[in-house]
């Protein structure tokens, strides 16, 4: 039996340290081989690393954090980069920025989430902000993963992904 080529999905955020990392790891975890996820940032800080609280929440949820790193979206706009089928911005700042011209003109959508790394309070309150963000991201990704193959066809994926962005 032929295994279909996985759908390549890139999650974008400004610094690529929290929301986009959570989305990348989660989709790779639940995607069942139908999806291959990456994440990147429009302007990751020098020596940017994934937020340790985000990594902790992922590990607690049983999601692998192996290989996760903060990187610039420039890695995905150049020659030799994997061609994306869908690009999803997960923070409002990145959604308003001028994106590179992506090879293959992938579908795009915006799924906005509050930045859990801006949560104030105790360590437990900060962890709870990351847990809530992970749960919100996972809800939408569960819906994406459950879409029938025809909804993921290149001509319909943008509409499908944008409709999921309207769901809570």
Catalytic residue status for 99: yes
Sheet holding 107-110, edge to edge: 35-41, 7-13, 86-89, 107-110
End-to-end CA distance of the chain: 36
Rg of the chain on CA atoms, in Å:
15
Residue of 37, 12, 19 lying closest to 27 (CA atoms) = 37
Catalytic residue status for 13: yes
Q: Which of 99, 114, 119, 147 is catalytic?
A: 99
Q: Which of 13, 22, 86, 134 is catalytic?
A: 13
Cα gap 157→117, rounded to integer Å = 30
Residue of 115, 156, 104, 154 lying closest to 137 (CA atoms) = 115
Catalytic residue status for 54: no
Q: Which of 40, 91, 109, 161 is catalytic?
A: 91
Orientation of helix 19-30 relative to helix 52-60, angle to 10°: 20
Catalytic residues: 13, 91, 99
């Amino acid at each position: 039996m032929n295994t279909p080529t996985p759908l390549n999905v890139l999650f974008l955020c400004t610094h690529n340290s929290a929301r986009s990392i959570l989305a990348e790891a989660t989709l790779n975890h639940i995607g069942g081989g139908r999806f291959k996820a990456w994440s990147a940032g429009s302007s990751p800080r020098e020596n940017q690393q994934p937020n340790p609280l985000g990594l902790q929440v992922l590990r607690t949820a049983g999601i692998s954090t192996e290989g996760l790193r903060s990187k610039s979206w420039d890695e995905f706009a150049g020659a030799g980069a994997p061609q994306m089928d869908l690009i999803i911005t997960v923070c409002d700042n990145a959604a308003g920025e001028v994106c590179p011209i992506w090879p293959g003109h992938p579908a795009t959508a915006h799924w906005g989430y509050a930045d859990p790394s801006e949560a104030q309070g105790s360590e437990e309150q900060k962890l709870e902000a990351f847990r809530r963000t992970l749960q919100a991201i996972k809800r939408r990704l569960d819906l994406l993963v459950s879409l029938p193959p025809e909804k993921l066809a290149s001509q319909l994926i943008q509409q499908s992904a944008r409709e999921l962005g309207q769901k809570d």
